Amino acid sequence: MRKLAGKLYGRVANVRNSMYDRGTLKSYDLGARTISIGNITTGGTGKTPLVEYVSGLLADNGEKVCVLTRGYGRRNENNRVLVSDGERVFVDAETGGDEPVELAQQLLGRALVLADADRVSAAHWAIEQFGITAFVLDDGFQHRAAKRDLDLVCIDATDPFGARSMLREPVSSLNRADAMIITRADLAENLGVLRTQLRQNNEQAPFFISRTQSIEIFSLAYRSQAIDRQWPFFAFCGVGNPAAFFELLRANNIETVGTKAFRDHHRYTQKDLDDVATTAAASGADALITTGKDAVKVKDLNLKIPCYVAEAEIVIDEADEFKRLLLTSS
């Protein structure tokens, strides 16, 4: 069923892309430098840490940055919501979306976050209100109504072509990418084989390798770093690639005695957390551990045992070259 849905999705994407290529559908200038970060699969590809990385890099080089996102899974995706003005986070995950609120918290002091399905209109509003000089399109590869100066496509090294998820469009669509970033490279092998497969679909775009440099663990309640990383944790999450999160914990020597995966963008109920806590206690866990994306949705629920948040910091192997590409794109 998933393969059939992927084929249908791919055919629709092909028709739509050909309409943009022919000019039947138009793309619109956002009015400032625009960097798109996206993917070709429906599963999580490690895109959000890259959005944070790119936004921070632009801000550090004097740009007034705004992250433009649809805010998938929020209460009303057609409403425009200023998630953050760069100084304060104004909304919760239900109103602004889990990933936008997570990004807003991580980018305080460096970037605004604006959720709107109409990113062209939202961009013009953001320029008028805040004097934005650079936009980062979150999940923008398929959003071709917005012109971009640079198209960055994330390829998850642990699931590059949707074996555990689904393709949003054919792999051949990678020929539109200006650069390809292989994410979670530290969790996979045979990167040379993956490079060869990607090069067959784009002969010119440069490759960049993204790895996890470190994981920091914070208390969900107090935002202070956990003292003992060797506690037996019970890990849970609702992300596109939960297996990658669980493997990341193991790779960083964080002991987990059990795991629970929810659907991507899952809206947690009190019963969900009660069930997780009960299972965790039965497994011998001293605490729960989850992702930043999940943390913004569970922080106001009643947690029967301590809960911690694992936040990964990424590095890009070819950092100087990547920085030059970002700062010279126009």
Q: Give me the CATH code for the 213-314 domain, please.
A: 3.40.50
Query: Where are the CATH 3.40.50.300 domain residues in the chain?
Result: 2-212+315-328
* Mean pLDDT in residue range 73-86: 93
DSSP summary character for residue 206:
P
Q: pTM value?
A: 0.92
What is the residue whose two structure tokens read 């993204």? 210
pLDDT at 103 over 70: yes
The pLDDT assigned to 26 comes to: 94
* Mean pLDDT in residue range 227-250: 88
Residue 7 binned pLDDT confidence (cut-offs 50, 70, 90): low
The distance between the two most distant Cα atoms of the chain, rounded to a whole number of Å, is 60
Residue 127 binned pLDDT confidence (cut-offs 50, 70, 90): very high
Name beta bridge partners: 217.
Answer: 310
Residues of the chain with pLDDT > 70: what percent? 94
The pLDDT assigned to 16 comes to: 83
Tell me if 151 sits within 8 A of 36, measured CB to CB: yes
Residue with more model confidence, 265 or 228: 265
* Mean pLDDT in residue range 312-322: 94
Residue with more model confidence, 244 or 30: 30
3-class SS of residue 198: helix
- Fold of the domain built from segment(s) 2-212+315-328: Rossmann fold (3.40.50)
Ranking 158-162, 181-185, 222-226, 301-305 by mean pLDDT, the lowest is 222-226
What is the spatial distance between Cα 181 and Cα 318, in angstroms, rounded to a whole number?
Answer: 10
The pLDDT assigned to 163 comes to: 76
The pLDDT assigned to 118 comes to: 96
* pLDDT tens, residue by residue, 257-275: 999 999 999 999 999 999 9
Residue 43 binned pLDDT confidence (cut-offs 50, 70, 90): confident
Tell me if 146 sits within 8 A of 38, measured CB to CB: no
Residue 3 binned pLDDT confidence (cut-offs 50, 70, 90): low
Mean pLDDT score of the chain, rounded to an integer?
A: 91
Q: Cβ–Cβ contacts within 10 Å for residue 40, how many? A: 26
What is the spatial distance between Cα 86 and Cα 88, in angstroms, rounded to a whole number?
Answer: 6
* Phi, psi of 193, deg, nearest 5: -65, -40
Residues of the chain with pLDDT > 90: what percent? 74
Residue 6 binned pLDDT confidence (cut-offs 50, 70, 90): low
DSSP letters spanning 273-327: HHHHHHHHHHTT-SEEEEEHHHHHHHTTS--SS-EEEEEEEEEETTHHHHHHHHH
What is the spatial distance between Cα 199 and Cα 186, in angstroms, rounded to a whole number?
Answer: 20
DSSP summary character for residue 68:
E
